[in-house]
């Protein structure tokens, strides 16, 4: 049981990092294997909208912009389930989350029920460390993404500075439940 825990903040010790660590703990407690990936440590540029809007992604389901996307895409294919933790920037996922998720969607959404993520569970976490505003719009965008790639939304979790402690426990519990369900 291989769970990819992807986080998308430049900050190694902030709220996003704490949420990702809680998810890893939950996975391990349930007997799963957690692979942690910090998207900000990788070189994954934005989609170039090749040709007239679609490039190789439409029919070959590969991205023609060569960077760290390809190796992470391979790990996504291998994984059984996903946790995606993003800081909330302007009520949206962060730039590193958007760059990766946009390109992955372009490769996988056209495959419909053959998508590498088809039916696989996803937990999305929106960590808002400022005003606390914008978690709902951020999660809405992540939910729509999950639907486009035909993943199954296992849970959507908003976190802010005030809810931090009990939400970290909820993230741990959600990851544990997701692994428990996938193993059964
Ligand atoms: C460009 C930018 C936009 C932000 N927009 C929001 C926002 O809409 N709502 C909010 O609560 N916090 C916002 N913040 C604060 C981040 O959500 C906060 O710093 C969060 O804790 C980031 O995660 P980190 O602790 O892992 O760095 C923003 C921060 C940045 C840098």
Q: What is the pLDDT of residues 64-82, one digit of tens each?
A: 999 999 999 999 999 999 9
Residue 16 Cβ < 6 Å to ligand 1? yes
**Run of H or E including 175:** helix 164-183
Residues 6+ apart with CB under 8 A from 90: 134
Nearest atom within ligand 1 for CA of residue 18: 26
| Distance, CA of 181 to CA of 36 (rounded, Å) | 20
Q: What is the pLDDT of residues 151-184, one digit of tens each?
A: 999 999 999 999 999 999 999 999 999 999 876 6
**Spatial contact of 5 and 83, defined as CB atoms under 8 Å apart:** yes
Q: Which residues pair with 125 in a beta bridge?
A: 85, 157
Q: What is the pTM of this model?
A: 0.97
Average pLDDT rounded to a whole number, residues 53-62? 95
Residue 15 Cβ < 6 Å to ligand 1? yes
Average pLDDT rounded to a whole number, residues 105-113? 98
Which pair of tokens denotes residue 55? 């490039």
Residues in the chain: 184
The residue nearest atom 19 of ligand 1, judged by CA position, is 129
| Distance, CA of 127 to CA of 114 (rounded, Å) | 31
| β-strands 121-128, 92-93 pairing | unpaired
| Distance, CA of 45 to CA of 108 (rounded, Å) | 18
The three-state (H, E, C) secondary structure of 83-137, written as one string:
EEEEEEECCEECHHHHHHHHHHHHHHHHHHHHCCCCCCEEEEEEEECCCCCCHHH
pLDDT surpassing 70 at residue 16: yes
Residue 96 Cβ < 6 Å to ligand 1? no
């Amino acid at each position: 049981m291989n769970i990819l825990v992807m986080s998308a903040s430049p900050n190694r010790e902030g709220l996003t990092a704490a949420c990702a660590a809680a998810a890893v703990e939950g996975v391990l407690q349930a007997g799963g294997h957690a692979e942690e990936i910090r998207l900000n440590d990788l070189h994954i540029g934005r989609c170039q909208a090749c040709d007239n809007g679609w490039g190789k992604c439409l029919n070959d389901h590969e991205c023609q912009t060569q960077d760290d996307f390809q190796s992470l895409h391979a790990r996504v294919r291998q994984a059984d389930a996903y946790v995606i933790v993003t800081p909330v920037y302007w009520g949206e996922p962060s730039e590193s989350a958007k760059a990766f998720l946009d390109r992955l969607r372009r490769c996988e959404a056209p495959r419909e029920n053959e998508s590498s993520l088809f039916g696989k569970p996803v937990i999305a976490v929106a960590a808002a460390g400022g005003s606390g505003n914008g978690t709902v719009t951020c999660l809405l965008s992540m939910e729509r993404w999950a639907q486009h790639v035909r993943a199954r939304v296992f849970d959507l979790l908003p976190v802010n500075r005030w809810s931090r402690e009990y939400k970290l426990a909820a993230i741990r519990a959600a990851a544990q439940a997701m692994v428990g369900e996938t193993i059964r």
